[in-house]
Amino acid sequence: MDPLTYRAAGVDIEAGDEAVRLIARLAASTRRPEVLGGVGAFAAFVSIPAGYREPVLVSSTDGVGTKLKVAFLADRHDTVGIDLVAMGVNDLLVHGAEPFYFLDYLAVHRVEPSRVEAIVKGVAEGCRRAGCALVGGETAELRELYAEGEYDLAGFAVGVVERSGIITGAEVRPGDRVLGLASSGLHSNGYTLARKVIFERMGLKPGDLLPGVGRPVADELLEPTRIYVKPVLSLIRSVPVLAMAHVTGGGITENLPRVLPEGCQALIDPRAWPVPAIFRLIQEAGGVEEAEMRRAFNMGLGYLLVVRAGDTGRAADLLGQAGERVFDVGEIRAGGRSVVYA
């Protein structure tokens, strides 16, 4: 009987080592001064950024979801890492926190160093966009759990905020305004429904043009989630922001009420911003009701902010100067904690 090796059993240690070497270079490109040491230790060491009197650590974890199925079909893996970072750092941002480090977990059927490098290249790019450091992670080869060519991603973001600067939504009052920041498309939510419509009902393939959208399926569906960290953190330093919401699964309908106090209801005008063509295509081709669309997708707004009515113009100007498309989409009124549409 021939001696059995770990590689013969299904785990290629040498490929894993090569992937780690490639990842180390990408992580180095995101380095912040608070990071102590590099990738490769058993744990990461990061000091608290300077300038905080009462620093509070804020953490979030998330994944990319079934958007990965589109990456598998298109064999394109360099943008889903941006989505991974975005899902974590945009959540930290809701409470006014500055993201300062990030870790990823990548589970694969088989370690292919070039594919791992492409995935983590996206993670590193997301970290650069957010201004945080990629300090480590884990790559696991799990051939018995994942099909050939498939993988899953999870991410862990940590930020810091001054205790007195934590944004909770407690100061929101009737009369305040809701500003919306444009999304880059579907972001990372609603993909089970989107794939059902586009690939099954419409019978399209990744390289086909989307009718009425003008882009190939893969380009549109793999457009990475927008990272709002830098413009919003800059805004907070100049304008009092009372509440914020990252529009993810559940859409505006379910995410905005999470940051409203009791007795406050958001009245949203869906005519206040242009809905990207991809959403209307999914709705029409799938026969999806409007309320269901609003619960499954962001409908063109990836992030919401609540400000005093008198601060609306200044906030919109500052965000616009930072490159954001900003819309005044509604108001806060007295009522049960919920979203209603005008």
Enter the tokens of residue 132: 């945080």
Domain identity same for 139 and 251 = no
Tell me: do 101 and 66 sit in the same domain. yes
The verdict on 149 and 195 lying in the same domain is no
First and final CA of the chain: distance in angstroms?
Answer: 74
**Is residue 235 in a domain?**
yes
d(CA 233, CA 96): 7
Task: Give yes or no for a contact between 341 and 280, defined as CB atoms under 8 angstroms apart.
Answer: no
Q: Is residue 244 part of a domain?
A: yes
The reported pLDDT for the residue numbered 21 is 72
Torsion of CA 71, 127, 65, 323, to 10 degrees: -90
Q: Per-residue pLDDT for the chain (342 aa), expressed as one digit of tens each?
A: 666 666 666 666 677 677 667 777 888 888 899 998 777 778 889 999 999 999 999 999 999 999 999 999 999 999 999 999 999 999 999 999 999 999 999 999 999 989 999 999 999 999 999 999 999 899 999 999 999 999 999 999 999 999 999 999 999 999 999 999 999 999 999 999 999 999 999 999 999 999 999 999 999 999 999 999 999 999 999 999 999 999 999 999 999 999 999 999 999 999 999 999 999 999 999 999 999 999 999 999 999 999 999 999 999 999 999 999 999 999 999 999 999 999
Range of the domain at 267: 177-341
In a domain, 1, yes or no: no
Is residue 217 a part of any domain in this protein? yes
For residue 11, being part of any structural domain is answered with yes
Q: Is residue 328 part of a domain?
A: yes
Tokens of 124: 């590193």
Structure tokens at 284: 């029409």
CA-to-CA distance for 69 and 165, rounded, in angstroms? 39
SS3 state of residue 77: coil
**Per-residue tokens: 64:** 């990319």
φ and ψ at residue 331, rounded to 5 degrees:
-135, 160
61 and 190 fall within a common domain: no
Q: Is residue 13 assigned to a domain?
A: yes
Domain co-membership, 182 together with 272:
yes
What is the distance, to the nearest Å, from the Cα of residue 157 to the centroid of all Cα atoms in its chain? 11
At 25 the pLDDT is: 81
Indicate the residue among 140, 165, 190 that finishes a domain.
165
282 in the same domain as 158: no
Residues 336 and 192 in one domain: yes
Based on the domain organization, do 101 and 187 belong to the same domain? no
Residue 267 near residue 176, CB atoms below 8 Å: no
| Cβ(24)–Cβ(134) below 8 Å | no
Q: Is 326 in the same domain as 182?
A: yes
Q: Which residues contact 83 (CB under 8 A, 6 or more apart)?
A: 64, 67, 122, 126, 187, 188, 224, 225
CATH number of the CATH domain containing 202: 3.90.650.10
- As for how many domains the chain has, the answer is 2
Indicate whether 265 and 125 sit together in one domain: no
pTM of the model: 0.93
CATH number of the domain enclosing 47: 3.30.1330.10
Tokens of 218: 């893969």
Regarding whether 206 and 323 lie in a shared domain, the answer is: yes
CB atoms within 10 A of CB 110: 17
Residue 172 counted as domain residue: no
pLDDT at 57: 97
Among 165, 199, 218, the domain boundary falls at 165
The domain boundary, picked from 131, 165, 199, lies at 165
Q: Say yes or no: 50 and 108 in one domain.
A: yes
The 8-class DSSP code of residue 258 comes to G
